[in-house]
Amino acid sequence: MKLAFWKSALGSPAGRALLALLLVIMAGAIFNADGAFFKIGTHRDTLRQTSVYGILACGMTLVIISGGIDLAVGSVLALAAVCASKMAIHWNWPAWEVVPGCLAVGTACGALSGIVTAGLRVQPFIATLSMMVFARGIAKYASGGMKVSTVVQNADGSYRNVEVPPLFRAIDHSIFHGNVSVVTVIFLVCVAIAWVALSKHRWGRYLYAIGGNEEAARLSGVPVVGAKICAYVASGIFAAVAGICQAAQEQQGDPEAGVGYELLAIAMVVIGGTSLMGGRGGIGLTLIGVLTIGYLDKILSINAVPEAGRLVLTGIIIVAAVLTQRRGRT
């Protein structure tokens, strides 16, 4: 009976993804760096450091389930970070104007990607690659190629230091006696929103249908173009949220931020067990994937493994995780 339980648990993608996470955490318990792994602060930091990637992975999950890919999220994050800093630091906008403003920027980027790929039928890889370059350019244009920080130039050419805006301080803060970061809470809210969209709303069902068999979906009356555009818009919005968080944590808007983040977000989605071919997967799996990569990186860093080794090991582990996922499917 026990065997049957394990068999069925490992037969599902969620079971296999959880097993991978469990192995990583066990490794952490063994190589605990003199008890550092058992401190609550370690876990708080792990979650804080992976939250920005996790938010990107939420949007990426929606797009990948619909059979697409979004390479632009890292650039959109940088653009949103620059915009947020510009609005909050330079222009002194209040939070209730900064946040909708940045989300509008993300929406516009996502809508453009979506229209080009779903409406004009450019391959998603190409369409979002273009958006990746385009958004990076806009970010540099908006920031003048420099970091938008609290050091502000006066009219006479001298510099002054302005106060960190309250929005940034609120986000880069910990609650529950300092045990949980606000960005982690934002990440979990994003997961919840994506979960509701995927499993409680008609649109989620449409995304699965399009990713599983686009032609069958179209012939069943699914509004394929609209549903796909919405997926890219959602990805753009999540990227903007991640950008605001990034700006708050760094207290500046760096137009060079987020380079390569899109690949990490894709890796997190895939490690969870969502199929890159579309049609299969879920946001719960992505949550597991985010935690797996986050903890893996943390455990390697508390054990003082140099960055070179960390990258090599992470690469190997991503392939291993995906191979296990594939074996289970056939």
Partner 1 sequence: MGLSNDSSPLVRLIGITKRFGQVAVLQDVNFEGLPGELHVLAGENGAGKSTLIKILAGIHTDFQGRIEIDGREARPRSPLEAAALGIAVIHQELSLIGPMSVADNIFLGRTPARAGFVRHAEQNDSALHWVRQLGLEIDVRQPVEKFPVATRQLIEIAKALSQNARVIVMDEPTSALNAPEVNTLFGLIESLKSRGCCVIYITHKMEEIGRIADRITVLRDGQCVGVAPAAELPPAKLIQWMVGRDLGEQFPRHTPRSGAELLRLENFSVFPSGLSSRAAVDTVSLSVRAGEVLGIGGLQGSGASELFLGLFGAYGALTQGRMFLSNTQRRFASPRQAIAAGVALLTNDRKATGLVLSMSVCANATLAGLPALSPGGWRRPSREWAAAKAMTAPMRLPDSTLEMEAGALSGGSQQKVALAKCLQCRPKLLMLDEPTRGIDVGAKREIYQLVEQWTAEGIAILLITSEMPELLTLSDRIAVLHRGRVTAEFPQGRATPEAILAAAMGQSIAE
Give the residues lining the site for partner 1 (CB under 8 A): 199-206, 208-209, 211-213, 215-223, 279-280
Q: Indicate the residue among 179 and 220 with the shorter CB distance to partner 1.
A: 220
Nearest distance in Å: CB 209, partner 1: 5
Nearest distance in Å: CB 54, partner 1: 25
Nearest distance in Å: CB 201, partner 1: 6
- Decide if 242 contacts 56 (C-beta within 8 A): yes
Q: Indicate the residue among 119 and 223 with the shorter CB distance to partner 1.
A: 223
Nearest distance in Å: CB 222, partner 1: 7
Contacts of 231 (CB under 8 A, 6+ apart): 62, 63, 65, 66, 68, 114, 207
Q: Indicate the residue among 113 and 275 with the shorter CB distance to partner 1.
A: 275
Nearest distance in Å: CB 217, partner 1: 6
Q: Indicate the residue among 201 and 326 with the shorter CB distance to partner 1.
A: 201
Q: How many CB atoms lie within 10 A of CB 139?
A: 28
- Decide if 135 contacts 73 (C-beta within 8 A): no
Q: Indicate the residue among 97 and 214 with the shorter CB distance to partner 1.
A: 214
Q: Indicate the residue among 133 and 216 with the shorter CB distance to partner 1.
A: 216
The token duo for 300 is: 């390697």
Burial (Cβ within 10 Å: 0-12, 13-18, ≥19) of residue 170 = exposed
Nearest distance in Å: CB 205, partner 1: 6
User: What is the enclosing helix (H) or strand (E) of 15?
Assistant: helix 13-30
- Decide if 231 contacts 249 (C-beta within 8 A): no
- Decide if 17 contacts 268 (C-beta within 8 A): no
Q: Say which amino acid occupies 229.
A: I
Helices 2-11 and 13-30 pack at an angle, to 10 degrees, of 100
Nearest distance in Å: CB 278, partner 1: 9
Q: Using CA atoms, how far apart are residues 246 and 236, in angstroms rounded to an integer?
A: 15
Burial (Cβ within 10 Å: 0-12, 13-18, ≥19) of residue 6 = exposed
Nearest distance in Å: CB 220, partner 1: 4
Task: Please choose, from the candidates 321, 275, 220, 319, the residue with its C-alpha nearest in 3D space to the C-alpha of residue 68.
Answer: 275
Q: Indicate the residue among 236 and 278 with the shorter CB distance to partner 1.
A: 278
Q: Indicate the residue among 258 and 279 with the shorter CB distance to partner 1.
A: 279
Q: Say which amino acid occupies 39.
A: K
